[in-house]
Copies of this chain bind each other. A is one copy, B any other.
Amino acid sequence: MMRTRPLKVALLGCGVVGSEVARIMTTHADDLAARIGAPVELAGVAVRRTGKAREGIDPALVTTDATALVKRGDIDVVVEVIGGIEPARTLITTAFEHGASVVSANKALLAQDGAALHAAAEAHGKDLYYEAAVAGAIPLIRPLRESLAGDKVNRVLGIVNGTTNFILDKMDSTGAGYQEALDEATALGYAEADPTADVEGFDAAAKAAILAGIAFHTRVRLDDVYREGMTEVTAADFRSAKEMGCTIKLLAICERSKDGTSVTARVHPAMIPLSHPLASVRGAYNAVFVESDAAGQLMFYGPGAGGSPTASAVLGDLVAVCRNRLSGATGPGESAYADLTVSPMGDVVTRYHISLDVADKPGVLAQVATVFAEHGVSIDTVRQQGKDGEASLVVVTHRASDAALSGTVEALRKLDTVRGVASIMRVEGE
């Protein structure tokens, strides 16, 4: 029952991911045709500069005019792997207007303009798929949107940035400081020359916005995501984590409130117990832990980036979108019907590990404990260490709101006996 007219694919971008998509489309053409029910044909490749030899790609297909390519009218699917906001956004909406469905790997664009893009897709009766935008090859968007469509997701807890996980894993296993571990990541190609997007949590925040939107059927904008990078995590923090039976990971956390009416999304470094499945995610791997009412605890693990893994996710979407074209259907679009309130960081409730440098004299603990009590933050454990007139106080709290904790810390800083707040780290996954 194979249809012989091929489905035509336009590829926007031919870098690390795009060239791998093109390669697999060629080498696995027979498999793709069998799985789709029709052959797929690379009909055009838009690049920034022509003239460069691109192995396995017919030079006649290559163009610098991406707009003309998506306007051709005979394109079935546009694969967008350019990244960034413009021109990707305009090209995608133009593609919908000219009858194509779209597969994208563009997390920044989806996080910022997902709602508008979904609306454009729906207005034209086309598909918008983007499995590759979050956690590379790991099937995550499809399981959340489809496999768990009959369940109620309460929390998504993920390591969604490989660069920072590589750095933190290195600090954990070798005792290295942040800069030393970053230098190694850069030397090995795990971190870019300008690592800001990774280490400051921008990349993870975009993914958190996408995941929260899908998990809670609620529109979550990038601005709704609290973001804290991991550049200030120290070797001392790792020693503290070890004493707690924990390690430190940069986590993207999307949570439904206890009463179910609101959600929060945030990215920050956090301690998690060594017994938690996320604790043993090593190197540049990603993993996402999902907690739902009926399914319970699920985890999805794999490579979060790289040309081949990302291409795998793109091609899975391409097969699905092509099947939909053949059957005349579209896959699930944006689902934002629940329209829950997105609460600010102050409403987040979790536990905290706080290290204070204090004067080594009687009464300090009592003063500090009073401040916690006044702000309604209950203390779980306190450990005092003192020598030579200097002392440190490590406080681990029970669950409290981020607003209450912030108020506590502000008040602690005003105490004469508190010389400094050495670190504040949230404790998750318990």
Contact = CB atoms under 8 A, between A and B. Distances in A.
> How many copies of this protein are present in the complex?
2
Interface in A29-49: 31-32, 34-35
Interface stretch (A90-98, A143-151, A344-352, A402-410): A143-151
Interface in A287-337: 292-303, 306, 308-309, 311-320, 323-324, 327-330, 332, 335, 337
Interface string A153-192: 0000000000000000000000000000000000000000
Given A20-B294, A137-B296, A28 B152 contact: yes
Given A34-B335, A143-B143, A327-B329, A151 B312 contact: yes
Contacts of A293: 308, 312
Nearest to A314: B150
A217 interface: yes
B150 A34 contact: no
A131 interface: yes
A111 B388 CA distance: 71
A335 B301 CA distance: 25
Contacts of A312: 148, 150-151, 292-295
A202 to B, nearest CB: 25
A50 interface: no
Nearest to A34: B337
A147 B330 contact: no
Given A280-B277, A329-B327, A329-B328, A150 B32 contact: yes
Contact of A146 (B301, B302, B316, B330): B316
A139 interface: yes
A31 B260 CA distance: 13
Most buried by B among A298, A315, A329: A298
Contacts of A131: 147
A75 interface: no
A294 B35 contact: no
Contacts of A415: none
B277 A301 contact: yes
A142 interface: yes
A292 to B, nearest CB: 7
Contacts of A62: none
A300 B289 CA distance: 10
Chain A's interface size range is 35 or more
A422 interface: no
Contacts of A338: 31, 34
A150 B24 contact: yes
Given A142-B146, A330-B327, A302 B294 contact: no
Interface in A101-153: 131, 137-139, 142-143, 146-152
Given A152-B31, A280-B280, A330-B327, A299 B298 contact: no
B28 A319 contact: no
A125 to B, nearest CB: 11
Interface string A240-254: 000000000000000
B35 A149 contact: yes
Nearest to A296: B303
A20 to B, nearest CB: 7
A163 B365 CA distance: 50
A158 to B, nearest CB: 13
A119 to B, nearest CB: 13
12 contacts: A20-B294, A35-B332, A137-B296, A137-B298, A139-B147, A149-B315, A150-B319, A294-B308, A297-B303, A327-B329, A327-B330, A328-B328
Closest 6 interchain pairs by CB?
A150-B315, A329-B329, A139-B147, A137-B295, A294-B312, A149-B319
Given A146-B316, A294-B309, 15 more contacts: A24-B150, A28-B150, A31-B217, A137-B296, A142-B147, A149-B320, A150-B316, A150-B318, A150-B319, A277-B280, A277-B301, A294-B311, A295-B308, A296-B302, A327-B330
